[in-house]
């Protein structure tokens, strides 16, 4: 009895620990450096390994630091059929002043679990570069504002006409199903503009704007803009500074057109004093909302093809690797089939593999790398196969591995095929299998001498009842002896 109880206890412990290990995930919070310059950013990063980052609370508000947007990154690997995911989300903060900033201990709920950080002290030193505005004002500010105090008499302000606009732009007006359209939300300010403008409450405004413009039934690759900086651009012969606040590539999953509605961005617009002076207030804060124009992207169906609803879409090339072209039967080797180029890398499907009798081909390990730059999403998805040749001979791997996709650069279906040709030496594995099967001949030799008449299982049922009765009697005797001793 003691042995039986210990046995079941061990089994239960193994099952419990095993289930706990399966459910475990690695979640951590990483804080930025201990020292930064007043013109440098401080970051707080949530990292999740082993599971998808499904949900998280807002990052803490820290006195002395101002939130300036978030960025994210992810990677996925499949090895021996096991999927490994790693994701992170980073909140960027900008210091308001020099000095020591105390970041108190805080907790964030990530994927339903409370993750704590002990906090730290951060020393903010002088700017590393000169002429840096400590206040986040990309359009300039008056360094002498309130320097000598304000005058008692009322100041008269005038409203200058701004030479600026807010726009949603795309790199294409018409795309195929599965083809990406790069979308940018940006604020444009002419180099001739004289009206002082400034962003405010951008994080909350952007959250509301994205809820309106994000289309349904698409795959999104977000460029995760971390810092809003001016970029020069020429529009119709006129020079502007463009401030991108959002950029992403959308890949439509169906034939429904993508509709971007009109959205507004509220800016701080300063009225300027009619008589500018060092001894008075030279500007007055007001607000103005700039609106983008609605935009529609036509989504076209792919041309007719037997695999129309299954193929990947993009502009892809093949990169492959084989550790040897001279092989022996029964010896495993590794072959990598990597699809790279521009498109929805996450949506690239596994190549069509013909598992013929000449080779034993195992399910691949998969890894992907994605880069978002300019107006494109590019990268690669690698499929690593382990194979065992079973028959000697010369083989063209293009007969076994093919990747069919719709090429957006030619608007036609295309096929990527292997360029490798291999030579296999050695004995046929079929002969080896026959020899292995012959070792079981004693079993098959008895077939002719055994009756093929159907037999009743009634005898077996009787013995089951006898065994069960024996167990009941044995348990009763054990219980009787135990009670008598006590």
pTM over 0.85: no
**Domain limit, last residue, from 233, 265, 300:** 300
Is 473 a member of any domain? no
Q: Say yes or no: 282 and 334 in one domain.
A: no
Range of the domain at 330: 312-430
Is 143 a member of any domain? no
Q: Say yes or no: 386 and 267 in one domain.
A: no
Is 438 a member of any domain? no
Is 240 a member of any domain? yes
Q: Say yes or no: 214 and 274 in one domain.
A: yes
Q: pLDDT, tens digit, for every residue of 29-56?
A: 999 999 999 888 899 999 888 777 777 8
pLDDT of 399 strictly over 80: yes
Is 366 a member of any domain? yes
Question: What's the CATH number where 424 sits?
Answer: 2.60.40
Q: Say yes or no: 289 and 370 in one domain.
A: no
Q: In the structure, what pLDDT confidence band is assigned to residue 206 with cuts at 50, 70 and 90?
A: very high
Q: Say yes or no: 98 and 30 in one domain.
A: yes
Q: Say yes or no: 291 and 359 in one domain.
A: no
The pLDDT score that the predictor gives to residue 87 is 79
3-class SS letters over the chain: CHHHHHHHHHHHHHHHHHHHHHHCCEEEEEECCCEEECCCCEEEEEEEECCCCCCECCCCCCCCEEEEEEEEEEEEEEECCEEEEEEEEEEEEEECCCEEEEECCEEEEECCEEEEECCEEEEEECCCCCCCCCCCCCCCCCCCCCCCCCCCCCCCEECCCCCEEEEEEECCCEEECCCCEEEEEEEEEECCCCCCEECCCHHHHHHHHHHHHCCCCEEEEECCCCCCCEEEEEECCEEEEEEEEEEEEEEECCCCCEEECCCEEEEEEEEEECCCCCCCCCEEEEEEEEECCCEEEEEECCCCCCCCCCCEEEEEEEEEEECCCEEECCCCEEEEEEEEEEECHHHCCCCEECCCCCEEECCCEEEEEEEEECCEEEEEEEEEEEEEECCCEEEEHHHCEEEEEEECCCCEEEEEECCCEEEEECCCHHHHHHHHHHCCHHHHHCHHHCCCCCCCCHHHHHHHHHHHHHHHHHHHHHHHHHHHHC
Q: Say yes or no: 243 and 362 in one domain.
A: no
Q: pLDDT, tens digit, for every residue of 273-297?
A: 776 554 445 778 899 999 999 999 9
pLDDT of 84 strictly over 90: no
Q: pLDDT, tens digit, for every residue of 296-329?
A: 999 999 999 999 999 999 999 999 999 999 999 9
Domain count, the chain: 3
Is 441 a member of any domain? no
């Amino acid at each position: 009895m003691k042995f039986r109880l210990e046995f079941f206890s061990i089994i239960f412990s193994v099952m419990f620990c095993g289930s706990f290990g399966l459910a475990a995930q690695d979640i951590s919070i990483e804080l930025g450096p201990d020292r930064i310059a007043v013109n440098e950013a401080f970051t707080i990063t949530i990292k999740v390994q082993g599971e998808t980052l499904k949900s998280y609370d807002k990052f803490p508000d820290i006195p002395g630091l101002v939130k300036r947007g978030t960025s994210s990154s992810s990677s996925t690997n499949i090895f021996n059929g096991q999927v490994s995911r790693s994701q992170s989300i980073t909140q960027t903060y900008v210091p308001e002043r020099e000095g020591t900033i105390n970041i108190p201990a805080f907790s964030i709920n990530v994927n339903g679990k409370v993750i704590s950080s002990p906090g730290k002290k951060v020393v903010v030193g002088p700017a590393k570069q000169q002429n840096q505005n400590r206040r986040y004002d990309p359009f300039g500010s008056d360094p002498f504002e309130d320097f000598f105090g304000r005058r008692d008499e009322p100041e008269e302000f005038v409203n200058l006409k701004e030479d600026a606009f807010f726009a949603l732009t795309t790199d294409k007006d018409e795309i195929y199903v599965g083809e990406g359209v790069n979308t940018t939300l940006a604020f444009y300010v002419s180099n001739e503009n004289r009206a002082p403008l400034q962003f405010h409450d951008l994080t909350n405004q952007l959250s509301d704007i994205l809820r309106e413009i994000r289309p349904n039934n698409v795959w999104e690759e977000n460029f995760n803009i971390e810092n809003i900086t001016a970029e020069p651009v020429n529009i119709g012969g006129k020079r502007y500074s463009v401030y991108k606040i959002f950029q992403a590539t959308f890949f439509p999953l169906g034939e429904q057109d993508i509709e971007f509605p009109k959205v507004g961005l509220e800016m701080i617009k300063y009225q300027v004093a009619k008589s500018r002076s060092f001894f008075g207030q030279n500007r007055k804060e007001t607000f103005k909302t700039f609106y983008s124009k609605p935009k529609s992207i036509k989504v076209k169906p792919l041309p007719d093809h037997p695999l129309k609803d299954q193929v990947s879409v993009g502009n892809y090339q093949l990169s492959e690797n084989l550790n040897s072209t001279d092989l022996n039967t029964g010896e495993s080797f590794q072959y990598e089939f990597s699809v790279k180029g521009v498109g929805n890398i996450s949506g690239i499907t596994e190549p069509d593999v013909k598992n013929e009798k000449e080779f034993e081909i195992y399910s691949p390990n998969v890894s992907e790398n994605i880069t978002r730059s300019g107006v494109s999403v590019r990268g690669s998805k690698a499929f690593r196969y382990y194979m065992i040749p079973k028959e000697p001979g010369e083989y063209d791997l293009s007969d076994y591995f093919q990747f069919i996709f719709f090429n957006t650069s030619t608007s036609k279906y295309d096929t990527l095929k292997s360029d490798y040709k291999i030579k296999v030496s050695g004995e046929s594995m079929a002969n080896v299998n026959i020899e292995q099967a012959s070792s079981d001949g004693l079993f098959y030799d008895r077939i002719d001498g055994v009756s093929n008449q159907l037999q009743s299982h009634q005898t077996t049922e009787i013995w089951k009842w006898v065994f069960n009765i024996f167990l009941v009697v044995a348990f009763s005797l054990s219980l009787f002896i135990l009670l008598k001793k006590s």
